[in-house]
Amino acid sequence: MKNLTGMVFKLLVYLALGLNAASVLAASVEERLAEINRLAPGERQKRLEEGAKRDAGLKFYSNENIDLLKSYTDSFMRKYPFIKAEFGRGSGARFVSRLLIEHRSGKLDADVISVPFEAGLQIKRAGVRAPYRSPELQSYAKTFSDEEGYWHSNHINIAVIAYNTNLVRPEESPRDYPDLLNPKWKGDLSIDLEPERVLVGWLVAWGEKKTREFVRRLMQNGAVVRRGHNLQIQLLCAGEFKIGVELYAYRVAQTRHEGKCPIAMSFPNPTPGSIGSMAGIARNAPHPHAAALFSDFILSADGARTLASTGRIPVHKEVKSIYEEVSQLEQKGVPVLLVPPEKADELGNVARQIMEEILVRRQF
């Protein structure tokens, strides 16, 4: 009765402050996670599993490809068969906007939310997530998590120049960005409609003036704008064009090895990269114990191996990529420029302006 009275009192206080019942739930989720993290490892795991059995379900919303989302949920359910894990997928700015709208209206029913790195701090500022520090983070560099526990990431994405080896001989292939401006490639280039990640990398490396000039010159050299990096890889394999300006390295390697596609990659200077999608537990998670178990799982060595099995580039200290081309890049001297989330947040508006003006409106 005393606990019930306390809960009622807390609800009345929140309502008096103009907050809704979801805010009370948010506080209880945060408090529950904080309490669990104060337990000894064995007791902590026991408490999570007991709570997850009561939760019985999990919803994971992410911008990642379906192959990875399915691999994650299938592997997680094999480990915890008493939890039914479901996923929903979205992409780009529309996905982020939908999450924010559902959060503000109190209709967001996800437990764990993963968004592109360029939107990570926006989601944090909006209060979509509750803080949670997984013990599995000890296997990652500090770059891959938020100090306060609002997000974490377990892989990197890097953008490379890719080319069809049936149409372009390796010795003639473009090695760096200036090579793409050669008139011999006119009309044979493809770039995504929303290349925000690589644009932010260029802005960090070159500044706005040089980045704008480079994108304009790409368009003047006949670069074709297409929506979707995966679609571009498919068309590149089919010989619809010769060169992809900024395709994801792991997809190039994956398509080459598993799809038997005549494709290869060059690592330009810089090779823009970012931490992978930024995941975290929803502030109003309906299944907080399952959400914590899922977060621990995707950060664990087993989760990293699940990630690596889909071709991606893990950053867990014990797990490497399954493709040699994109493994141990630092040791190979690849000039990777890993853009921190703070820079992506700072330069996001400029990147979107360039996309709108030059790639969408074709003002070049």
Provide the residue ranges of all domains of the chain, joining segments of one domain with +. Answer: 2-155+276-314, 158-274+328-360
Residue 17 has pLDDT above 60, yes or no: no
pLDDT of the residue at 20: 43
pLDDT of the residue at 199: 96
Question: Which pLDDT tens digit goes with each residue over 97-113?
Answer: 999 999 999 999 999 99
Residue 88 has pLDDT above 90, yes or no: yes
Token pair listed for 69: 């989302």
pTM: 0.85
Taking alpha carbons only, the member of 35, 45, 32 closest to residue 80 is 45
Identical fold at 2-155+276-314 and 158-274+328-360?
Answer: yes
Q: How confident is the model at residue 330 (pLDDT cuts 50, 70, 90)?
A: confident
How far is C-alpha 338 from the geometric centre of its chain's CA atoms? 13
Number of neighbours of residue 40 by Cβ within 10 angstroms: 8
Taking alpha carbons only, the member of 301, 320, 17 closest to residue 134 is 301
- Looking at residue 313, its amino acid is I
CA distances 255 to 180, 235, 237, 250, 266, Å, are: 22, 12, 9, 9, 15
Q: Which CATH number fits domain 158-274+328-360: 3.40.190.10, 3.30.750.210, 3.40.50.11540, 3.40.30.10?
A: 3.40.190.10
Domain 2-155+276-314 has CATH 3.40.190.10: yes
- Across 202-231, average pLDDT: 96
Q: How confident is the model at residue 25 (pLDDT cuts 50, 70, 90)?
A: very low
Residue 357's φ and ψ, nearest 5 degrees, are: -75, -45
Residue 16 has pLDDT above 50, yes or no: no
Q: How confident is the model at residue 91 (pLDDT cuts 50, 70, 90)?
A: confident
Residue 83 has pLDDT above 50, yes or no: yes
